[in-house]
Structure 1
């Protein structure tokens, strides 16, 4: 009974022909297998060990990182925070440069104005006394010059035959003494050895103590005509370079 029931089933199953996949459906599968085999043959066997996390050949992610590296480097170079500021570099170069500073217009910065030069030394008269000179006129000119340049006036009353006057003239001609005179004094030499009453009156005006005068009489007068010292009253300094130089330095303005 059972065998009879199964037979038709088996017979039916056996009798049904197995339907193979159509040729058109199998061709893509075969082509895919051949293409995969070709890729494996072209790449060659893997040099990595079994279980390796990644093949030795750089993948797309590695290539992307390599391609991004130049742009990142360029960004770093272009970034002002990665390098010294151009303005700071220019400032450092300008501070160490020996060239003169320039204004924004490009022209050189103006130089500071020079201070006025010291006045030229005053003229120092030569030895001796000129009896024909107008002593009052010479004194007035010396006082005017003293007001203009701040020097002091030195009146030298003497005579050409006076030995002490000749000794003083030799000292006045020495370079050091002449430099002191030219820098600080206007020297006026007045002859009182002759018969000039005008010059004798000038002596009494600037040395009013009277009596017997010991020549030379040296009188220091400021620019206003006021007497500062009179050797007829105080006594002459030593008629040497040291003595006269010390006297001139003491009363220089």
Structure 2
């Protein structure tokens, strides 16, 4: 029994945010400071299955996490996140630790096989929905937190960076 408790404690500590890398310091303090117009990062014509497979292969090869960004160009929070990904302080961090693939989910009616593959079979609860995936195991790392940035407009730029950094070990 004590071995089981020790192993459980070890696993909990291994995945806790305390083991995460520190987030980059973001120099902007509000989203009005992002380049405008905000990007429209979702390609409606993209073959989602192929794009995710290619991004996973690249992430695995480069020893990065896979970040699957599910959203739509109609979504202001998705576009803010796209602008944040272009912000130099965060871009350097993301380029080093993540392989990002953006997948258009329409009005939650397209490319739903992608979230379903990771166990999200109910209707998506918000956009963007972010899936942080270990490309070696193809396992979702942020289950229960996939819509944490679906209200990005109410967050600070630093809070977005902090959220993204917590998954990097």
The two structures share one fold, judged by TM-score above 0.5: yes
Separation in structure 1 between the aligned mates of residue 144 and residue 82 of structure 2, nearest angstrom: 16
Specify whether residues 202 and 212 from structure 1 end up closer, same or farther in structure 2 by C-alpha distance, changes over 3 A only. closer
Where do 5+ consecutive residues of structure 2 fail to align?
1-38
Task: Please list every run of at least 4 consecutive aligned residues from structure 1 whose deviation after the TM superposition is greater than 6 angstroms.
Answer: none
| Contact kept? 2:66, 2:134, Cα under 8 Å | yes
Cα deviation, residue 211, structure 1:
3.9
Q: For 1:16-165, what aligned pairs fall within 5 Å after superposition?
A: 127-165=40-78
Q: Is residue 154–residue 219 contact of structure 1 (8 Å, CA) maintained in 2?
A: yes
The Cα shift of 1:203 comes to 2.3
What is the TM-score when the length of structure 1 is the normalising length? 0.45
TM-score normalised by L of structure 2 = 0.66
Query: Between Structure 1 and Structure 2, how many residues are aligned?
Result: 127
2:14 match:
none
Highest RCO, 1 vs 2 (Cα 8 Å, sep ≥ 6): 2
Q: Residues 203 and 165 (structure 1 numbering): CA distance in 2 closer, same or farther, change over 3 Å?
A: same
1:194 to partner: Cα distance: 5.6
- CA deviations 1:105-129 (Å, max 9, x no partner) are xxxxxxxxxxxxxxxxxxxxx6420
Structural RMSD (CA): 2.4
Equivalent position of 2:157 in the other structure: 241
Q: Per the alignment, in what secondary structure is the counterpart of residue 103 of structure 2?
A: strand
The residue number in structure 1 matching 2:112 is: 200
